[in-house]
Amino acid sequence: MPPKRAKFLTYGDDALCAETKKFIEDAGILLEIRDIEQQPLTFNEIDKLIKHIDPRHFLNVLSPSFDKHGLDERLPVRHELIEMMVEDHTLLRRPIIQSARLVTVGCDKKSISLMLQISPNGTREEDDRDNDRHNRRPNRNHNSKQPTAAR
């Protein structure tokens, strides 16, 4: 089976993002890594990334810009919020991990594991199932019938 792939969007040097990246790569997922500090996202890219998801899910509440713009008190309409994210990428929560159909934001290993179908210990779930199958004891009596009681 070919390895799974995902996009990994990060911002500069971030220890939590690096730990999350290692967790995913150790599970055998091939990552396309993009540092949005070096290669900022466009309006269309952010809009496509967010799709129908509530944009608040993508907001980095720890960013100084979050407080500066008063986003804890009032959120602008969607397109204005995306424009703010384009102007200041620190407003984007990270890492953003995107598989073929799904997106997750942040360093929550449980959410990442579910999305990428890897176990929380960092291995691919298919590998875990294969190991379970190989580690089972064979049933040596699968063809023999149990003796029946005499009447």
Phi, psi of 8 (to 5 degrees): -130, 110
What tens digit of pLDDT does each residue of 59-75 get? 999 999 999 999 989 99
CATH superfamily of 5-127: Glutaredoxin (3.40.30.10)
Of 5, 36, 24, nearest in space to 108 by CA: 24
What tens digit of pLDDT does each residue of 96-150 get? 999 988 999 999 999 999 999 998 776 655 554 554 444 444 444 444 444 445 5
What tens digit of pLDDT does each residue of 7-38 get? 999 998 889 999 999 999 999 999 999 999 99
Whole-model pTM? Answer: 0.77
Decide if pLDDT at 1 tops 70: no
